[in-house]
Structure 1
Amino acid sequence: MVGANLKSETMKLMEKRSGIEAEMNAIIEQLCQPGGPGLSGNLVDSEGFPRADIEIPVVRAQRHRLAELKNDHQEITEKINVNIQVLHSAKLTSTPKESGVEMNQNASVVNVGASVSLQNLALRDSHGANDVDMISGVPFAMVDEIADASPAAEDGLQLGDQIVKFGNVKAGDNLLQRLASESQVNQGHPILVTIMRQGALLNLSVTPRTWQGRGLLGCHFRIM
């Protein structure tokens, strides 16, 4: 019961973190729109005068709010990491949820695995490609179960990872069927997977494959 309560608390923290990330992305999108000041661009022109093309008080308020959200995000992430370590050490297991998808070889469920080829695209205080990556990272599913010694665990997928893209699958309709099809069609072949982890976008090379346990990857996805 304690483990179940801890997992429930962790999932609520993850949902709260997702809300913070959504607000951060909205602010970033506003600051980084064409002609905007970016996350840390100058608010004065080349002659040292306040820029007339932007509302400086609004920009300052947005940047201040973004800094607050970053701090909140870090605090929640630290709590999540502690809970996840406890859950992993306890080796908790649970049955698949109706709102999720457990990737196996059946059409109704899909088990996922991944070979690690990580590229950290963490949010930074500059206006550039990383800002665009952060804006475009809209997760549609979350990893809430990973079996020990499974392909997913061995290849680097972690509890709490939020799926932004799984091969050709992005947010949309019929996600369960599309995830299942993507995994089955690419069995034995790498799939590019983009995830959100602790506020950063990461790229994984995922290879669905058979192993001693259920499915092709041994993890469970909860649709967000």
Structure 2
Amino acid sequence: MTDFQDYHSRIAQIETEAARLAALAGDLSIPVPTCPGWTLAELITHVGQTHRWTAHMLRNRVQERVWSRQVPSGLAEGRSGDAAWLAAGAAEMAEVLRATDPSMEVWTWGPDRRAAWWPRRMLFELVVHRADAELALGAGPEIPAATAIDGVEEFLHNLPSAVWVTRSLAELGAEGATIHLHATDADGEWTITQGPAGRIEWARGHAKGDVAVRGPVSDLLLLLYGRRSPDALTVFGDRALLERWLPAAAF
């Protein structure tokens, strides 16, 4: 697909994922183990606020960082969001995304300074937090293989620009180390090479790494986001490297 087609396809996926998350927002007091210290109320509020922030950034063509907490949430002081509030914010964001030229220049924290960066990032913000909610409720997250492949590559594409992550990776002393990910249920293989100053490089395709991880591509995506333990997948080689690298790479 072209960038334009991808842009609009991801908006439709956002709408689907937002509806799935809203449907899980019943008892908001339930703790979310994959987001320590949060309940579903905090999770829903975080996601809905992020949607309103995204709409603000694009509607106003913002060129410098604005923190999400600086954007009005529509909630009374001290109140948390609920399913209806989440759905309203997602609908607002989708409307703004559709009205925005994907090539428009706008601030992002990633490597792409165009509006086209935002729907992909917001899609995987939703996918991962929907998985958080499902895990909190005792359900197994289901992520289509094509979506999970896109999610792995979105994560790797943005990781070198996440300066708060590269600082942590720089402290590992692992320059030159390689991590290979191999999907067992889809055509997806990637090799991550730890570079200088905490930055990474990555490439698609088969290769030998210092450590290799095999499993369903949805589990590989959740592994990168710290939602799956390496114990749930098959690991070959330097497991200690993997167990040091994953927490440092989390964003």
Q: What's the TM-score once normalised by structure 2's chain length?
A: 0.23
Q: Which structure has the highest strand share of the two?
A: 1
Q: What TM-score, normalized by structure 1, do the two folds share?
A: 0.25
Higher relative contact order (CA 8 A, sep 6+): 1
More helix by share: 2
Larger radius of gyration: 1
